[in-house]
Every structure is written in C-alpha cells, then in structure tokens.
Chain A
Amino acid sequence: MSENHKKTDQTPEKDISRRDFLKVAGAMAGAAGLTHLASLGVKNARGSQEGNGDGPRWGMLIDINKCIGCKYCTYACQAVNNLSDDMLYNVVTTETTKSGTEFFLSRPCMHCDDAPCVHVCPVGATYLREDGIVTMDYDLCIGCRYCGIACPYDARVFNWRKHEETSSRVPEYGVPEVPPRPRGVMEKCTFCQHRIDNGLERGLVPGVDPQATPACVIACPTEARIFGDLNDPNSPVARMLSETKVAIRLREDSSTSPKVYYIPPQEEQLDLRVEEE
C-alpha cells in the first residue's frame, strides 16, 4: 500500500522518457515566452485531473468558531516532527473579521491540488502524492527555497541549522515520529503521512482512529480540526463539509485548490450567505 503511495508522475526516479525529452526539445526550440504558456497549460491540465481517482483524498476542515488559540496543534506538530522552537509547520495567528472582531486562524499546509511549490521545485523534491498529500523527498532537495517563495500561505519552512537536540515540546505534546532532516533542506507539513500510511496498513481509518490521524487534529482540545477522506462521503470531514454550506478556503484568488477548508466565524457566515443569495 505504501508503495503505491510513494510517488506520482512527478517522481524523478522514473526514467526520463522520450515524451519528456521531446517536451524539452520542443521547449528549447520555442521562444522563452512559450515556456511560460506551457507551464500554465500543464498546470490547468493537471488541476482538472485531481480528485477523480478511486483512492482516498485526504483533507481537513477547521472550524474557526471552535478554535480557542491554545496552539496545542502547533506544539504537537513540533513534538511529532521534532522541530526546534522557531520552526513551525503549523501556525496560529490572530486575525480580524471585516467588522473588526478578532478570531484565531490556525494554518497547516493547505496541501493544494495545484500546489505552487510542486510546480516550481527544480528537482521534483516536493511532489503531490496520489492521495493528495503534498510532501517532500528530503534526499532530493537542493535547498534553493523557490518553493518558499512560491507558497502563498507561507507554509514552507527552511532548515537553517543543524538540529541535534530534541524538541522542547517532547514529551509533553508527543514524541518524535519521523527521521531528522539534514541542514539546508526545505521542510513542510505532511499531514503526518507516516501515521496515515502505517494506519492504513494496520486497517485503521485516518480521521477516525487517533493513531492514523495527524497529530494536530488529535491534540486539539475543542475538536476544531476534522480530518478524513474527502472522496468518502461517510468520512467525518466529508459529512461536516456537506452539512456546512459556507466552508471557505484561503487565498482562492491564487487558484491553488487547497484541501484544507475553514468554517468561517459566525458573523462572516451571515455575510457569505447574503452574498450567495
């Protein structure tokens, strides 16, 4: 199972096929502007293919009304991924609604279907798995940081220094579950793919069974985060999404199709309903 999940067509370990070669030769023959158009074309084509597969498509729903800003999600993430205190895959910020009411916005990686970081990576170290998780091959990354520049959510984190000591969040919020990354690579939230992969092997259901669910979801004391398979109508996240008419996604303007949805604050929901009508 995990073998299937390992890579998608982005994988660089595949042979460089004739099609790839012709594509490159074609690009070289054209003017530079063509590459721009070509990349946009590929982007659109890929975007429409997403979500039609039979397998799971992992997603998350965050209810802003339930979030109390305790940052347990951030701490659990740091413990499980063994991050130093200044490295955050998951960020909780205080934002305001249009009328000025404050609310807490917690932001993991959006795991976009059309992720800018995947498109820009020069070596294919960042790639989209078949189950929709955007993840990293830390052995490929050259540390150019283009993904960090491309990400509209500021979700990419660079490993600036050699990280030897254990995270200060251990053991209070969890224990390290993934191998350490070398200095000088870009890191990111993986929706705790190791939990999902191991859980599925053992017949668990991610989003339902805690061992197979991302650490931030389990750590949340108010159950503001719901995780699951967006393709399965019976999964908690899909059920909640169909019940909630006003779920939003961040930065829809950059057409990245995130798989993290938000239930907006009550007052904004009213606004959104009015706009709909």
Chain B
Amino acid sequence: METSIQVPTVRVGKREIDIFPFWIALLLGGMAFGLVGVYQVFTQGLQVTGLSNQVPWGLWIIIDLSSIALGGSAFVFGVIVYLLRIKRFETVGKLAVLLGFLGYSTAGLVLLFDIGQPLRFWHPVVFWQTHSLLWEITMCVVLYLTVLLAELLPIIVEHPAFSEHPLLDRFRILRKASNGLHWLAHRLHKIGPVLAVLGLTLSLLHQASLGATYSVLSGRGLWFNPSAPVQFVLSAMGGGISLLFFLSVVVFRMMRPNLVKDDVLHDIARIAGGIILLCIYIRVWDWAVTNYYSFDSEVALQTEMLNSISPYSTSFWLGQVIFALIPGTILLFSRRIQNFRILTAAAILPIICSVLMRWNYNFSGLIASISYDPFTPNVILNSYTPTWQEWSVATFVICFWLLGFSLAARYLPFFSRSHAHPAGE
C-alpha cells in the first residue's frame, strides 16, 4: 500500500510546474521581512510596538493564544490513537501531533518577542510562583512541547533518509546515530499511552488556564467569569480539530490519495462538529448570563462602549455564533453531505471563530476598562493599533508555522512501514 505524493502543480503552457519551490521561497521571503521586525524588537525593545500600559497585550498574544488553541487536536488524537488504540486514526494522528508541535513552538517563539526581557524566558521554569496562572501555563507548555517532541520523533525517524541514505554506509558514526535514533523512537513509541495521558492532562490544564488568565481578574468586570476556562478548552478542541480536518483533506485526500479513507475524514469532521456545537451552547449561555441575567451596570456600560467603537456585538453574533453554529451542523452531518468542497469550506469558519474569540476576549477587557474613581466609576476607552514591526514579527512566526507545515506535508512519511505489522503489541 505504498502511496505516491501528488504535489500541487500549475499548468503553464504545456508544462506542469511544481509550485512547491516557489511557495517555500515566498515563505522564506516572508520570514526575511519578519526578521527586520525581530531585529528592531530585540535592539530597541517593546517601544516599537503599539502597546501601552493600558493595553499591554496585543496582536502577539492573539497569535500565541490562537496557535496554542489550533494545536488542540494533538491531545485529542493523542488519546484516540495512543490510548484508545483506534487504528484507523493512526495516520491522521501523526498530522495532529505535527500540528500540535508547530502550534506550540510558534507560541513559544512569539512569546519570546513579546516579553520585555527575552533572555529571561527560562525564569518561570526555575523561579516558581505556583499561584500564577501564567506560571502554570508556561510550565505546561514547556512540558507539553517535550511530550509533543517525543511523539513527533518516531514519526520523523521513519523517513527513509534515517535508514537508507547512502551517507549512512559511508560513515559509521552516522549509522550509529541512526541506530540510536531508531532505538529511541521505538522506546518512545512504546510509551505512547503514557505520553498520551501526559499530553491530555497538560493540555486540559493549560488550555483552561489560558481562559482563566483573564477570568480570575476580579478587577475587570467583563472578564471575571467562571465559564471562560471551559470555553477556551472546547473552542481549542473545536478549532483545532477543524484545522486538522481541513489540512487532512490537503495532506491526505489531495496529496496522498488512498492513504486515508474518506470515512476517517468524515469521522474527524463529526468530532469537530459535535465539539463546536457544545462550545457554542456554553458560549450562548455565557452571553445570556453576562448580558441578560446580570444587572452589573459596569459590564453593561463596557459592552455598550465596546459596541460604539468596534464591531463587538457583530463579531460575537456573526463570528462566534454563526461561524460556529452553521459549520458545526454541517460538519456533524458530514457523512450525509459527503461533498468535500462544502466540508472543507465549512471547516475554515470554526478556525476563524477560535481566533476571533481570543481576539475579543483579550481586547474587550483592555480596550474598555473600568476606572478606579470612587464615586462615579466609569468606563475608560483605550486604543491600540499594531505597528508595522508587530505585523512584521507576526509574519515571521506565521511563515515559520507554514514553512514547518509545508515541509512536513511534502516530506514527512505519514505511511508507517515499521508499524504496519499487526499492532497492539
């Protein structure tokens, strides 16, 4: 069942041209542009950003939160493949692990630029402050990135270059290194269930804590909310699995036909659809609690002022409710719909929805904040516009993600030869 990779091509005149090198060149160009911003941020500090003391978290935090959320399929499929041992998802599970690794390394990368003292990025690992959600998130992300690396290594090592490359016979040390890697990969594969449980625990902890980062702050009315952690976990699962479905169609259905059955893809869509609908159910109740059942005048004023300067309500109803409700329903009934064009188009919306939810969550509390005036407390409107340096760094990390994904989509051996033997041992 060896599969060939069909690369996307463009027909120019009579010739079929492989667009892959051009795509990679474009991404490298994007990263080069990004390096300009990276250089400025490192040499001049965060004064080059549009951030202020009133809006200290901006575009980069959205990228950080979103890339972690969109890596959310890794822990779900880690459990499905390595713990529940559902074999038909094994190939897709590899893609999920890859997306998780890319998401978390992108998040780590963007945080490096976002903190004021980049050289002290390791401080939370050494100087523990166990009451801080941000400390817990940092530890979880560091540990989970290790888990993801342990899950990813066996997949990468399966590439023929690690066992059949001519250089391996030329230099004995390379052969030894290759053998060592294979031994390690085998061991790591064996402890798959342990890694899956670890991944699940760490993911649930920090995905929830990312919501709690905002919602424990009692001084900010719009954020102070007990359901945010649940919403963040569910939206990460929904958005992450939607992304997995979308990219599975690209990597498997388009580039590697016959490797993954359509049924499996339909199942992924159904899982995503179910979780998206569950998430939106909780989200709407949460909306009702804050807006309808609550008589907190400050929260009402905050919402009103947000609406006056931004499409806050529109982005909620359109971006977070409609973009979840319709595609959620479509994905849930993917077996009946069958049409992959509709399904992939529908899968894009929950991804946008997950990002938009984080955008709204972060900025709602910062843009319209409550003053400390004792007698006539009011809502202060702050403003934030990302500078080109911020967009430049954003381009850098997004191109980094895309580059990692593109190279993997083309070269990663998703078809497992060494584990093709009857599994379960």
Contact = CB atoms under 8 A, between A and B. Distances in A.
5 closest Cβ pairs, A-B complex:
A143-B116, A152-B219, A184-B116, A32-B208, A12-B127
B29 interface: no
B94 interface: no
B219 A184 contact: no
Contact of B136 (A35, A151, A154): A35
A124 interface: yes
A82 interface: no
Q: Most B CB atoms within 10 A — which of A93, A144, A146?
A: A144
A142 B54 contact: no
A23 interface: yes
Interface string B120-150: 1101101111111111101100000000000
Given A28-B205, A97-B376, A120-B134, A154 B46 contact: no
B117 interface: yes
Nearest to B213: A146
Nearest to B369: A154
Contact of A35 (B54, B56, B129, B209): B209
A219 to B, nearest CB: 22
Chain B interface category by residue count: 35 or more
A223 interface: no
A184 B117 contact: yes
B375 A98 contact: yes
Given A20-B128, A24-B130, A154-B54, 17 more contacts: A20-B130, A28-B201, A32-B207, A35-B136, A95-B373, A95-B376, A120-B133, A121-B129, A122-B124, A122-B129, A144-B115, A145-B116, A149-B56, A149-B365, A152-B372, A251-B219, A262-B374
Interface in B207-245: 207-209, 212-213, 215-220, 226, 229-230, 233
Contacts of B218: 116, 152, 253-256
A32 B229 contact: yes
Interface of A: 10, 12, 16, 20, 23-24, 27-29, 31-33, 35-36, 39-40, 42-43, 93, 95-98, 105, 107, 116, 119-125, 140-146, 148-154, 156-162, 182-186, 248, 250-251, 253-256, 262, 264, 268
Interface string B156-176: 000000000000000000000
Contacts of A146: 132, 134, 213
A184 B45 contact: yes
A151 B116 contact: no
B131 A42 contact: yes
Contacts of A253: 218
Contact of B124 (A39, A142, A143, A255): A142
A123 B124 contact: yes
Contacts of B56: 145, 148-149, 158
A10 B130 CA distance: 9
B45 A142 contact: no
A159 to B, nearest CB: 7
Contacts of A152: 218-220, 370, 372
Q: Most A CB atoms within 10 A — which of B135, B217, B219, B220?
A: B219
Contacts of B121: 142
Interface string B12-49: 00000000000000000000000000000000111100
A142 B373 CA distance: 30
A253 B209 CA distance: 24
Contacts of B129: 10, 12, 121-124
